[in-house]
């Protein structure tokens, strides 16, 4: 059988990949890699290992494994099925065992250390030295210093964590898909815009159901929560969404993540303590910009203090408006989006529905491509005939001013039932040089935006436009790299609390008049976004900024404190610690049945465990970076070139602070973030 996952001659063969290919491909590559490593280590002694005879061939081994696993992992997220999920699940312990083996291979550790200790080390490039430095660090984080019995336990923990994370994510997906509401009485849908009704009608028709179907896919859920006048309808949807994968709500216990969370945290703490850290948060910071847990807590508390007074004012205004204008005397969690949208319309005569006709998909994408061309002198064009996993997926390539191919990407924009929620960029192929050839980086850019309805194009909310720009920023970081060593190419090797810099940075061009004229044109008339609407957008930009800031700080503090203070005593602690964080930070407590943590995939199934603070940390960097464009002009050629060369192209070769200072000319300052969010630098409780 020819296995398409083992064909590395080009892009993944999505039209040919079947579930039966998955496990055999991974098993074959792992066996090959083990054999190859044995041969590499046997071919030399500790005085003769070099980059060329050890690390370079290992780079090729790792790349082949990554290129086979990447489409499998991606398909599991965007075209999930029971069969694929099972194959994916079978591979997780195999991969975990392999990577732990590498991290605990004493012969390999000594070989790489011998390269670092050799006098020829100074002749290596900065990128090669950084790869070696990261490798030696990661050996210690993988248990190279442990006794044999502790190494065995470390390996067991890594395998269990891999399985638990997958189980958690699957539960969230199943719970999201496991609830919907069929509505046949149009009176229940008063307040909903025509676009939301048409989307729900289209969903019903696809399922051969009379009436309208609303579900927990975010565009559908958000429409109900933002526009439905029926308060009990909003309450039902809020309850279903806020209790996904938990012991509460309409599907209580069916896909319950309670035990997954407790086990994940227990094992993370055990792993960290095996390695000599006091807690998992300390372990997490070993690969981040922040140096101590106190530094992170102080940073979040500083932002909290700056934001809370503004947030208290925001919630007081909302409660007054709800009581006086909407006859809601007891504002509840399921009223927040609805009342906020009404208040926004009242204060600024502005709504997302008013904006949507100005953000048709094609115009937004063309405008985005024009913006990055003006910033970085790159051209983006569609490529036809590429195999994808769904008819809606498109493929593009990026070329520089000299016509040189710099990167390629898949764009998957719309929400679907077999696709996990949220938005993300992931690596398909990583740039690295081999035998005089450079492997071009390829990215997956995935969103869950509003899809086209009937013959109408997809019309995005401004928030959805922000999401697209955010993920494209990640994509540029991956694709525009000029680093030829995969370990520090693109986003690889970049400190996790700096990896959001390019993504949050890109969002700024969704707010500037000079860039908005490129992305905002009425889908029927071609009219550029009128000045009066732009003025309203700017006036409303920091609407409820205190509440929004405090919400993110609540998530970050919960995550970080959880990974500092979780005790391995067999007692449930997650809900208790979330309640304590909310008592400290929140200005409006959610209902007791709320189980937000059961769907908090970022920290329980993604890469943000003890790292969710990174969003705010990097937002300081991104706001301060953009302030230079505000000074010079948002399309200033020299500033764009400066950001390209010092941030986007550099990957993880140097520490993020050094790169930022080279771009900005100084260390980052918090003032730009507080100014952009409308929170005064003097604002305290």
* DSSP notation for 103-123: HT-HHHHHHHHHHHHSGGGGG
Total residue length of the chain: 685
Question: 124-128: long-range contacts (C-beta < 8 A, 24 or more apart)?
Answer: 124/51, 126/653, 126/654, 127/483, 127/484, 127/485, 127/488, 127/651, 127/653, 128/51, 128/55, 128/485
Contact, 241 vs 593, CB < 8 A?
Answer: no
Sorted by sequence, the CB contacts under 8 Å of residue 447 that are 6+ apart come out as: 412, 413, 414, 423, 464, 467, 468, 471
Contact, 282 vs 607, CB < 8 A?
Answer: no
Q: CB 118: neighbour CB atoms within 10 A? A: 16
The catalytic position among 135, 471, 554, 649 is: 471
Tokens of 153: 């336990």
Sorted by sequence, the CB contacts under 8 Å of residue 661 that are 6+ apart come out as: 667
Contact, 297 vs 197, CB < 8 A?
Answer: no
Sorted by sequence, the CB contacts under 8 Å of residue 6 that are 6+ apart come out as: 25, 28, 29, 68
Strand 405-414 with 442-449, pairing: parallel
Q: CB 224: neighbour CB atoms within 10 A? A: 28
Cα angle 610, 612, 615; round to 5 = 145
Helix ranges restricted to H, 333-490: 336-348, 352-355, 361-376, 462-479
DSSP state, residue 173: H
Query: Is 235 a known active-site residue?
Result: no
Sorted by sequence, the CB contacts under 8 Å of residue 462 that are 6+ apart come out as: 352, 355, 359, 510, 537
Helix ranges restricted to H, 520-613: 531-540, 545-565, 574-585, 601-604
Residues that are catalytic: 471
């Amino acid at each position: 059988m020819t296995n398409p996952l083992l064909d590395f001659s080009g892009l993944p063969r999505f039209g040919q990949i079947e579930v039966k290919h998955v496990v055999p491909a991974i098993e074959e590559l792992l066996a090959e890699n083990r054999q190859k490593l044995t041969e590499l280590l046997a071919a030399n002694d500790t005085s003769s290992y070099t980059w060329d005879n050890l690390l370079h061939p290992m780079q090729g081994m790792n790349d082949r494994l990554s290129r086979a696993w990447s489409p499998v992992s991606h398909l599991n997220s965007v075209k999930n099925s029971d069969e694929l999920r099972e194959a994916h699940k079978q591979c997780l312990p195999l991969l975990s065992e392999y990577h732990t083996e590498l991290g605990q291979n004493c012969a390999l550790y000594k070989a790489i250390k011998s390269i670092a200790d050799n006098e020829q080390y100074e002749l290596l490039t900065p990128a090669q030295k950084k790869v070696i430095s990261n490798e030696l660090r990661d050996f210690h984080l993988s248990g190279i210093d442990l006794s044999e019995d502790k190494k065995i336990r470390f390996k067991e923990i890594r395998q269990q964590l891999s399985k638990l994370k997958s189980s958690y994510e699957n539960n969230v997906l199943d719970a999201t898909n496991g609830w919907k509401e069929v509505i046949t009485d149009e009176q229940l849908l008063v307040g909903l815009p025509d676009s939301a009704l048409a989307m729900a009608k289209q969903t019903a028709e696809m399922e051969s159901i009379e009436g309208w179907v609303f579900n927990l896919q975010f565009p559908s859920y958000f429409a109900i929560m933002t526009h439905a006048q029926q308060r009990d309808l909003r309450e039902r949807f809020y309850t279903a969404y806020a209790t996904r994968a938990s012991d509460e709500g309409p599907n209580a216990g069916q896909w319950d993540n309670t035990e997954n969370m407790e086990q994940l945290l227990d094992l993370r703490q055990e792993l960290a303590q095996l390695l000599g850290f006091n807690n998992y948060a300390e372990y997490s910071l070993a690969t981040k910009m922040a140096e101590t847990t106190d530094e992170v807590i102080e940073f979040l508390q500083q932002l909290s203090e700056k934001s809370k007074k503004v947030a208290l004012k925001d919630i007081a205004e909302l409660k007054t408006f709800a009581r006086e204008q909407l006859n809601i005397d007891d504002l509840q969690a399921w009223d927040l989006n609805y009342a906020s949208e009404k208040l926004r319309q009242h204060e600024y005569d502005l709504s997302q529905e008013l904006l949507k006709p100005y953000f048709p998909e094609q115009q937004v994408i063309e405008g985005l491509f024009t913006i990055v061309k003006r910033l970085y002198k790159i051209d983006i064009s569609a490529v036809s005939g590429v195999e994808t996993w769904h008819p809606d997926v498109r493929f593009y390539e990026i070329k520089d001013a000299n016509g040189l191919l710099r990167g390629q990407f898949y764009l998957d924009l719309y929400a679907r039932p077999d696709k996990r929620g949220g938005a993300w960029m992931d690596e398909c192929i990583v740039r690295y040089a081999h035998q005089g050839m450079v492997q071009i980086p390829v990215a997956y850019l995935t969103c869950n935006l509003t899809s086209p309805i009937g013959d109408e194009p997809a019309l995005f909310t401004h928030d959805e436009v922000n999401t697209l720009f955010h993920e494209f920023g990640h994509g540029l970081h991956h694709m525009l790299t000029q680093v030829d060593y995969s370990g520090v190419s693109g986003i690889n090797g970049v400190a996790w609390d700096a990896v959001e810099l390019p993504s949050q940075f890109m969002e700024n061009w969704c707010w500037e008049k000079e860039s908005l004229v490129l992305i905002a044109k009425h889908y029927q008339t071609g009219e550029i976004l009128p000045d009066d609407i732009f003025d309203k957008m700017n006036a409303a930009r920091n609407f409820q900024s205190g509440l929004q800031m405090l919400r993110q700080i609540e998530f970050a503090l919960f995550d970080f404190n959880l990974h500092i203070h979780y005790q391995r005593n067999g007692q449930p602690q997650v809900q208790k610690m979330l309640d304590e964080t909310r008592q400290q930070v929140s200005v409006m407590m959610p209902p007791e049945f709320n189980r937000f943590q059961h769907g908090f995939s970022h920290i329980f199934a993604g890469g943000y465990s003890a790292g969710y603070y990174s969003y705010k940390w990097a937002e300081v960097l991104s706001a301060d970076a953009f302030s230079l464009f505000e000074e010079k002009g948002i399309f200033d050629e020299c500033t764009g070139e400066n950001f390209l060369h010092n941030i986007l192209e550099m990957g993880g070769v140097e520490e993020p602070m050094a790169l930022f200072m080279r771009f900005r000319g100084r260390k980052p300052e918090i003032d730009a973030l507080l100014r952009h969010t409308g929170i005064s630098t003097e604002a305290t409780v």
